[in-house]
A and B are shown apart, each in its own frame.
Chain A
Amino acid sequence: MTVAARVVRRDGPLSVFWRVLRANPLSFVGFLMCLIIGLTALVVVVDPSLIIPFGPLQETAARNAAPSAQHLFGTDNLGRDIYSNVMLALPLDLGIGFAIAGSALIIGGGLGLIAGFYNTPGTAVGWLSVSIMRVTDIFLSFPSLILALALTRVLGLGVGPTVLAITITWWPYYVRLVRGEVLAVKHLPYVNAARAAGTTENRILLRHVLRNVLEPTIVYFTLDIGTVLVTYSTIGFIGVASKYPGPQPEWGAMLAFYQQTGSANIYPWLVLAPGAAIFITVLAFSLLGDGLRDILDPRTRRAFVRGTTTHDPPAESPAPLAIPSAAVTDSNPMAPPLAPVGPVETGAPP
């Protein structure tokens, strides 16, 4: 190809988002999975009858039936449909994941910002920062699962108390993460440059520090939803979180019930379905997390935007007889982005 004008298209955030996902096959899969999981959960909440044929406690004629067209994941010894129960549990488990990780993000992230940014020793805010970190250390010195279990004994059975118990053990990790990132960012020259420009400390924290801390935190949050689900299911497995069988099934409780009644030894699909549900959800969010990192960081985003740099076709070029390899690369959407263009120096010569 001859020299052609380079036209850099500046696209909206959505198309950048789309291109980053497309260039990253794994996170694209993660994104699709999360989308499907989210939509399914929405359908279950709005109108369960659309995709769920049986009620959670409805006893059908088929008992201990293997997976079939009528009972996708089989049935248990009373003829309860496993597929219906797994699907009914989806919104609850998803909500639990977001609720715990989300409140931990807000509580822990907020405390981490304060502890990291206002840490001048000897001042009142310095003492606040030190106290936040010592309390965090105390919480972190307990194994979180054991602490959560102990708290559920105090707070009582059920979904609400369990969510609260896990949240109480969960926020310290965010304090640590955010504080560490803040400490790294607050000493970068651009923070001092903003200070020199007359920006107030609070605005520096919210505009300059928070924005640059956001990216690793959001990624961690997405990965964390999976971890939270596993933890909740573990507590559910021990049998203190949710009651199964009941009107509102939950994956961990399902696993526990069939494992403890011994039916799982003979009819493996009873535990296979809820287990796979946990596995797929955790996997989906983990994959999405990696892609989010690329979307949030302008430096990686640039490579993808550059990848769309269009070459105007030469006006007088003869029609290609054979397919030139360069053209194939250009038109292939999954191809790696073009080599990044070096920094532009467009300053006027002296």
Chain B
Amino acid sequence: MTDPVIDVRNLSITYTVGAGTFYAVSDVSLKIYPGQTVGIVGETGCGKSTLAQAIPRLLPEPPATIGGGEIIFRGTDLVKVPKRNLPMVRGTGIAMIFQEPLNSLNPAYRVFDQIAESIRIRHYRDMGWVKSFQGGEVPFDYSKPAAPPTVGSALTRPIVPDGALEEAARDRLRTRSEFREEVLNYLRLVRINDPETILNLYPHELSGGMRQRIMIAMALSEKPSLLIADEPTSALDVTIQAQVLTLMKELIDEVDASILFISHDLGVIAETADEIGVMYAGRLVEYGPVGDVFRSPRHPYTKALLKAAPAHYKSDGPLSSIPGSVPNLSRPPPGCRFHPRCPLVQDVCRRDPPPLAPVDKSADPQARGLHRSACYFAEEVPGLP
């Protein structure tokens, strides 16, 4: 059995704003295996973006605090990695595509420079000029801050390491011709026609869809082992959304990376993901293969969410909605967070938060791709209207 690319264990994240504390993510566990695409759905404010940004430790800390849990990536707990070592994890290890393609490219640089920067980061790490843990090996213990050089080592160490100057000269040769060719290849990979022209354009000269393609090209050019896509299609027009989505689906097969796909759109997740996690009020309430979860949801929230999605633009009456409203995350309800709105609520739901347990009780709880639900009454969910 292969090891997961990323193993999130019991992750909790809080935001401290003024005197209040918001429990944005509570006790979320998630494993993503090589080549797998995992989708996370949930309403606005359910903590899915917080989760996505917490994995490469991109959340501003403070106000965010990782209250507990582990993020195991290549054998190391990212929660414990000191801030100054974090850039080594990002990019070549965990890359990310953001929600706002309009502002995610630096307006001052041409497309070529933006992508070349990413390629250069990977190149320098591949060459070992910059510390990283590309290639699955940890050349040093990056969970500890690098020791400051002692006077002795600083004096005896050569100022320029052997061969570095030749490498630098060769790299400078790369800069124009080979880098250009590589950038063009990545532009072609994201299906951009006429990449030679696009290369010389500034971000403001491109449409939203084009910019998102550039973002995807930048993320992929670092050859990450995990790609996190945080609502990559939300800010786009519907037609462009479809194009970018098609591209993402094609790339999932072509690219050698696991993908964590965050979206509030059930349809998008259904099309792209192998496994799906449903989040509600900071908790993962249901997890399983896309087919199982969509066909037979085992959590009342998932059931209601699927029912509320306007699937076929039916004209036989009003769209259904979930009664009640999303709880205030500064004072989340005790027990199951869905209990104030749940039709199956019992006393136990108000008391103890239900664990994310396999729906099929006889199954091996460690097995991959198992349908799990955080509901005490998961068997009764299919009987709900």
Contact = CB atoms under 8 A, between A and B. Distances in A.
Contact of A193 (B105, B108, B213): B105
Interface stretch (B191-199, B279-287, B335-343): B191-199
A302 B200 CA distance: 12
B56 interface: yes
B87 A193 contact: no
B23 to A, nearest CB: 22
A190 B105 contact: yes
A239 B202 CA distance: 52
A105 B125 CA distance: 35
Contact of A196 (B96, B107, B198, B210): B96
Given A188-B103, A190-B106, A196 B246 contact: no
B98 A197 contact: no
A208 B106 CA distance: 7
B193 A212 contact: no
A9 to B, nearest CB: 11
B41 interface: no
A302 B108 CA distance: 12
A299 B121 contact: no
B219 A197 contact: yes
B350 interface: no
A195 interface: yes
B108 A198 contact: no
A302 B191 CA distance: 25
A199 B87 CA distance: 6
Contacts of B98: 189, 192-193, 196
A192 to B, nearest CB: 6
A327 interface: no
Contacts of A212: 106-108
Interface in B197-246: 197-198, 200-202, 204-207, 209-210, 213, 215, 218-219, 222, 240, 242-243, 246
Interface string B68-91: 000000000000000010011111
A346 B58 contact: no
A194 interface: yes
A53 interface: no
A8 B246 CA distance: 30
Contacts of B219: 197
A346 B200 CA distance: 14
B203 to A, nearest CB: 8
A199 B92 CA distance: 11
A50 interface: no
Interface string A153-194: 000000000000000000000000000000000001110111
Q: Interface residue tally of chain B, by bracket?
A: 35 or more
A207 B62 CA distance: 24
Contacts of B104: 189-190, 192-193
Contact of A343 (B92, B200, B207, B247): B207
A253 to B, nearest CB: 43
Contacts of A189: 98, 100, 103-104
Contacts of A10: 200
A347 B193 contact: yes
Contacts of A195: 58, 87, 90
Nearest to B245: A350
A347 B207 CA distance: 10
Contacts of B58: 192, 195-196
A344 interface: yes
A199 B209 CA distance: 24
A347 to B, nearest CB: 6
A197 B206 contact: no
A298 B95 contact: no
Contact of B107 (A8, A197, A299): A299
Contact of A347 (B62, B205, B243): B243
Contacts of B118: 197
A63 to B, nearest CB: 59
B210 A345 contact: yes
Given A190-B104, A212-B108, A198 B191 contact: no
B210 A190 contact: no
Interface in B110-148: 117-118, 121, 125, 132
Q: Which 4 pairs from chain A and chain B are nearest by CB?
A: A198-B91, A343-B207, A350-B246, A196-B96
25 contacts: A189-B103, A190-B103, A190-B107, A192-B98, A192-B104, A193-B96, A195-B58, A195-B87, A195-B90, A196-B56, A196-B91, A197-B91, A198-B121, A199-B91, A199-B117, A199-B121, A299-B202, A302-B205, A344-B201, A344-B205, A344-B206, A345-B207, A348-B193, A350-B242, A350-B243
Given A197-B222, A298-B202, A347-B209, 5 more contacts: A189-B98, A193-B218, A199-B121, A208-B106, A347-B193
Interface of B: 56, 58, 62, 84, 87-93, 95-96, 98, 100, 103-109, 117-118, 121, 125, 132, 191-194, 197-198, 200-202, 204-207, 209-210, 213, 215, 218-219, 222, 240, 242-243, 246-247
